[in-house]
Structure 1
Amino acid sequence: MLPSSLVSLLWLLQLAWAFVPLTPSYINNKKKFSVWSKQKPPKGYKETAGLISKKIQKDAAVSTNDGSFTLSTGISFIFSDADEYAYYVNAGIGSSDFPLLIDTGSAYLWVYDSECNDDSCSDKPLYSASSSGSSSSSKTFDLSYNTGTASGIIVQDDVTIANVEAESFSFGAASVVPDLFQDYPFSGILGLSAGNESSSNLINIVDYLYKNGTIDAAKFALCMSNYVVDDSLQAYGNNSGLLILGSDQPDLYIDPIYSTDILTDSSNHWEVKIDKIFVDDYQLQFQALKIPDYGSSNISRIGLLDSGTTSIILSSKDAITLHSCFANSESDGTQYAIYCNTTSVVSLDIAGHNWTITSDQYLGTAYSEDSGLSGYCVSNFQGLDSTTDGSWILGNIFLKSYYVEFDYANAKVGFAERADNVVVTKGSQDSLAITSSGAESSAGSSAFSSTACTSYFNSSSSTLTSSSANASSTSSNSTSSTSDSKASAAPLLPSFFLLSIMLASYLI
């Protein structure tokens, strides 16, 4: 009989490979059908030309901020690739800097190790355990993605993010990295999922910083859209937002923050209840779904907040229902095509407030004139049964519009309308310094500009390498493996984020 731990691992791997890569893209013409052939528009629903109800309009409230926001300890710029598929923060690990993907669906931090010879590690900053003076345990980690595996050793080193240092922090150093990550400008994953389950001391860095008294609260916030900067921060002008660790920053949002509890049985994901869903002023009804803590509902859904996913992923049946509200929409069962001149607004009621998704967010690439679907655009709402609980994966096209706070201590997520009149200023000279390359960086820490980060990918000579990443205290007789399996729906056009939903199993 197989050991229970091995059975658990085999079951987990099977789950991981059950997920299929999904990219919002053109529908398969061989499988094309009219959505209305599957489901007629809801009775009483009329297509409208824009906002027809006060319900779906954003609050008229304005920010009380005077227009400026000063950077301080615990706040870092975040950046993205040119297509805004991947959002990352610059982290100081040991004596070097690394761009890390911000992923609220991953449980812990791991980086590309200097022992990695895979294509994904080429021309990128690589972590060298031996040269950094870090220590390692006898444990290893192994993460299964549906295009390959990330694996390596578990090490301890000082990690600095937003000028906040986590001393002797445990994380993974991967000598094997799947091709999934090859085309993206980061050197590892900053996991910020809702729970900690690792038996190998691999916990999220926010919880670690709070327990060590380094930050005031066990929470973080994401503002995932560009901020205007003043003249002192021009090197950061192409930022993609801010990461806030351990504090509330009311100048960045329009008060109040609307908070809601994380659902129980959420498998360590940031899952919340979506009370109601509207297209324009029409409230949608779906097939009944069990909502943890609330029972069965045909109007409410589960929302899984994932910064590692770009689009919004619905169950197959829910996607049909939603797209039935868009005139003459087409599908192949997974991808959807809707009119490019659509102006309808999709809105989600969460925590007693209405959060909108407008056409400039959910309309993707236009179809060509000779495609047979001229006048149509790719829908960034996708249909895939990628979660066992039927949740909607709310990726960055939703998150980037708001100030979103993730609260570990109170097991809550808070949402607020973003203050758009903010200009970010430099603050004290102690918090930022000039690097030798001329790009601005937090002194001895991670908040260096995207200019410095980009240089890693334009010149192979910039890549950090080492002859060895062997641990200073490795035991060949005792090895503990941490095995995680993670898969999810991918984002907009290049296939990427099957990063988003981590299903974790840790073997002792």
Structure 2
Amino acid sequence: MFFKNGIRSGVFRLIILITYIFNLTFVQAFYPCSGERYLSAGSAFKVESKNSKYAAQFVNINDALSKQALQGQATAKSSTKNVEVPVKPGMSILSTDSNTQAYFVNVTIGDEIYPLVVDSGSAYLWVYGSSCTSKSCTSNKLFSTDNVKRAADESTFSLIYSSGTASGDVYEDRIIVNKLATTQNFTFGVANEVPDIFENYPVSGIFGLPSNNSDNIESIISVLSESNAISMEKFSLIIGALNSKDNTTSEDSALQAPLTENKGLFIIGDLVEDLYTGDIHYASLITNENHYWQLKIDSVYVNSQAVNFSTSEAVTGSQSSYIRSGIVDSGTTLLILPTQDALDLHTFFVNSVSDGTNFAIPCNSTEILSLEINGVKWPISSEEYLGEAYPQDSYYYGYCVSNIQGLELDESWILGAVFLKDKYAVFDVQNQQFGLANKNENAILVPYVNSATNSSDTISGDRSSTTISASNLPATSTAASSSTSKSGSTSFGLGSTIKPQSFMSWVATLILLAF
């Protein structure tokens, strides 16, 4: 949901980045289907066969990483003491699909629970409606509009993709996220038509989390803060599984997955200090009309070498070939760069190959990619930037798909789960800043038991009215969406998740109509 209209799908151009020339069958071998890419965004496995031409060079990635700490890089304070962390109200277990490509949370709408993608690159909440007959709706839970109130203006929404349309009506109801509740008139979209690109994900919609409010939209975080349901207007994410004490869950087993099945945490409100080590390092957001979590990247490093890109970018008044801007998007799987930036960056990975958009890196690579943000370097290890390995019978056996991708974007990078993995990320709406800390590897999730209240209680404030108008509409596949509100303003939504065994680009336009 972050790509500008006009993404071209022209003829692949083969880029030779190694010392010998590949046969032109590279495209067919590298990309099994024309226009698609074989890719899983899950953890890479390393090819260690004696038949591999790289067999003698393979190293233990963890050993290599321990020897390559970068100067100025954020490092966790070592501690051997375990700490138990109760999963309290406002703390929700993250789950994923089978390929670890989309992170979602259980959300109660009305009286039913729906899995929604946690998407910091989008500003609007929408769900699959019971009248939806699209393929994406046939195997996922649907929202029934029986006895649910339509929005006062009876508005509708339409999200138009190159492969289909997500469209429907706007309704009002109460939203509960692990016992944090809005009032009854929270406004969200109910889709009766959904593109097939969502078919392979076990979700029922999108949970949008913008950086701020606008004239026609108010974030759910702001709503909960203003109603005194939370004391801090912020939320936090840990993408990546945490330790847990047992296989039980929080008080209400219907709302939470078993703790041992967690793939991370979504936390609304107060910081949970036991979940991170050291300090939280904040960076101010770049003001933008699209409500993105956009920030300045001071420099990009591969090991200790700063990357000097081919083009300069103007960020917060500075023009530089080292500086970049990035949009933090939890609804995106990969690290997405403008095409030329991706080409430049991959030259720092020895023997990497590319067709200009998609890339492959030797599976034995140990380079550490780091993004410097407000003076602190945040590493992305090869465990994250290496995708699935090519099979033994492939011409590219010994290579892994790169989880760093190039597309024809505007200047900003898209910092997805590859960047956020195993960090404690803070999205501070009130102070318009984004923060990072190291995840506490010794934290152990345990069930929360509150003897003071009944387990069915929810936390809600005294606010009598909550209204959100539709704006940035997300999707969980790589897409571009533009949204036009009733006031005439236009914005673009974010979100990119690789569809199993393929990659496709989609263009989408959101149209809001009121009658």
My pick for the range that moved more, 59-68 or 285-294, is 59-68
| Secondary structure of the structure 1 residue equivalent to 2:261 | coil
Alignment of 1:40-59 (within 5 A): 51-52=67-68, 54-55=70-71, 59=75
Give the match's secondary structure for 2:151: strand
List gaps (5 residues or longer) in structure 1.
1-11, 23-27, 39-47, 434-441, 447-478
Residues 202-211 or 483-492, more deviating: 483-492
1:16-57: CA deviation from partner (whole Å, max 9, x where unpaired)? 5423699xxxxx9x743312689xxxxxxxxx9764454276
SS in 1 for 2:270: coil
2:329–2:495 CA contact under 8 A, matched in 1: no
Kept after mapping to 1: 8 A contact 2:247/2:260? no
Q: Match for 1:189 among 191, 200, 206?
A: 206
Deviation at 1:445, TM superposition (A): 7.0
Report what 1:172 is aligned to.
189
- Who is 1:218 aligned against? 233
- TM normalised by structure 2 equals 0.76
Q: Determine helix, strand or coil for the equivalent of 2:71.
A: helix
Please give the residue correspondences for 1:65-80 in structure 2 after superposition, counting only pairs within 5 Å: 66-80=82-96
Alpha-carbon distance in 1 for matches of 2:118, 2:248: 22
TM-score, reference length from structure 1: 0.77
1:443-487 deviation digits (Å, cap 9, x = unpaired): 3779xxxxxxxxxxxxxxxxxxxxxxxxxxxxxxxx999997646
Seen in structure 2, the aligned counterparts of structure 1 residues 325 and 376 have a Cα distance that, compared at 3 Å, is: same
Instruction: Give the 3-state SS of the residue equivalent to 2:155 in structure 1.
Output: strand
Confirm whether residue 113 of structure 1 aligns to residue 134 of structure 2: no
Larger CA deviation: 137-146 vs 59-68? 59-68
Equivalent pair of 1:56/1:347 in contact (CA under 8 Å): no
Change in CA separation of 1:56 and 1:258 when aligned onto 2, cut-off 3 Å: closer
Q: How far apart, CA to CA, are the structure 2 residues paired with 1:60 and 1:226?
A: 17
- Is residue 2:75 matched to residue 1:93? no
Aligned to 1:161: 177
Question: Contact 2:76–2:438 (CA<8 Å) still a contact in 1?
Answer: no
- Counterpart in 1 of 2:15? 33
Decide whether the 8 Å contact of 2:292 with 2:327 is kept in 1.
Answer: yes
Q: Is 2:338 the partner of 1:315?
A: yes
Q: Is it true that 1:270 corresponds to 2:285 in the alignment?
A: no
Counterpart in the other structure of 1:61? 77
Structure 2: gaps spanning 5 or more residues: 21-58, 250-257, 460-485
Counterpart in the other structure of 1:295? 318
TM superposition shift of 1:291: 3.5
Partner of 1:471: none
| Distance (Å, rounded) in 2 between the aligned partners of 1:90 and 1:420 | 25
Q: Summarize the alignment of residues 2-41 of structure 1 with structure 2, pairs less than 5 Å apart.
A: 17-19=5-7, 31-35=13-17
Distance 1:232 1:174 in 2: 35
Compute the displacement of 1:421 (Å).
0.8
Please provide the CA RMSD for this pair.
Answer: 3.4
AA aligned to 1:251 is: D
The Cα shift of 1:366 comes to 1.5
Separation (CA, whole Å) in 1 of partners of 2:6 and 2:237: 30
CA contact (8 A) 1:229 1:237 kept: yes
Task: Indicate if the aligned counterparts of 1:64 and 1:254 stay in contact, CA closer than 8 A.
Answer: no
Q: Which residue of 1 aligns with 2:30?
A: none
Give the distance between the partners of 2:453 and 2:95, measured in 1 at CA: 17
Q: How far apart, CA to CA, are the structure 2 residues paired with 1:432 and 1:495? A: 48
Please give the alpha-carbon distance, in whole angstroms, between the structure 1 residues aligned to 2:79 and 2:161.
42
| Displacement after TM superposition at 1:491 (Å) | 2.7
Counterpart residue number, 1:285: 308
- Distance verdict in 2 for CA 1:20–1:358, change over 3 Å: farther
Shift of 1:507: 6.5
Contact 2:294 2:325 in 1 (8 A): yes
Q: What is aligned with 1:385?
A: 408
* SS across alignment from 1:167: coil
Supply the distance in 2 between the matched residues of 1:240 and 1:431 (Cα, whole angstroms). 29
Match of 2:425 among 404, 409, 412: 404
Deviations 1:398-447 (A, max 9, x none): 112210011111110010011011111112156999xxxxxxxx73779x
Equivalent residue, structure 2, for 1:9: none
Work out the CA distance in 1 between the residues paired with 2:329 and 2:13.
Answer: 29
Aligned to 2:478: none
- Is the contact between residue 232 and residue 426 of structure 1 (CA under 8 Å) also seen in structure 2? no
Rounded Cα–Cα distance in structure 2 between residues aligned with 1:431 and 1:366: 52
- How many residue pairs were aligned? 435
Provide Cα deviations, 1:200-229, integer angstroms capped at 9, x if missing partner: xx5321121112222112110001111222
Once the two structures are TM-superposed, the CA of residue 504 in structure 1 deviates from its matched residue by 6.8
- 8 A Cα contact 1:481 1:506, kept in partner: no
Deviates more, 1:141-150 or 1:120-129: 141-150
Q: For the Cα contact (< 8 Å) 1:264–1:293, is it kept in 2?
A: no
CA shift digits 1:486-506 (9 cap, x unpaired) = 46654374457969x998776
Residue 470 of structure 1 corresponds to none
Matched, 1:130 2:118: no
Contact 2:157 2:513 in 1 (8 A): no
SS in 2 for 1:371: coil
Pick aligned residue for 1:147 from 148, 163, 187: 163
Tell me how far apart the structure 2 counterparts of residues 64 and 504 of structure 1 sit (CA, whole Å).
Answer: 50
Change (3 A) 1:203 1:405: same
Could you tell me how far apart the structure 1 residues matched to 2:232 and 2:396 are?
Answer: 51
Query: Residue in 2 aligned with 1:476?
Result: none
Q: Matches of 2:264 and 2:88 in 1, distance apart? A: 15
Which residue type is aligned with residue 33 of structure 1? Answer: I
Q: What SS is found at the alignment partner of 1:257? A: strand
Q: Contact (CA 8 Å) 2:362, 2:400: kept in 1 or not?
A: yes
Contact 2:128 2:192 in 1 (8 A): yes
Shift in CA distance, 384/489, structure 1 to aligned 2, threshold 3 Å: farther
**Is 362-371 or 54-63 further displaced after alignment?**
54-63
Aligned twin of 1:250: 273
2:443 paired residue number: 422
Matches within 5 A, 1:221-236: 221-231=236-246, 233=248, 235-236=258-259
Tell me what 1:491 maps to.
498
Q: Cα 1:301–1:507, aligned 2, differ >3 Å: closer, same or farther?
A: farther
Whole-Å Cα distance in 2 between the matches of residues 185 and 431 of structure 1?
A: 35
Amino acid at match of 1:443: S
Cα distance change on mapping 1:65 and 1:326 into 2, 3 Å: same
Tell whether the 8 Å contact from 1:72 to 1:431 is kept in structure 2 after alignment.
no
- Residue 294 of structure 1, CA deviation: 3.2
For residue 321 of structure 1, report the CA deviation from its aligned partner. Answer: 1.2
Partner of 2:55: none
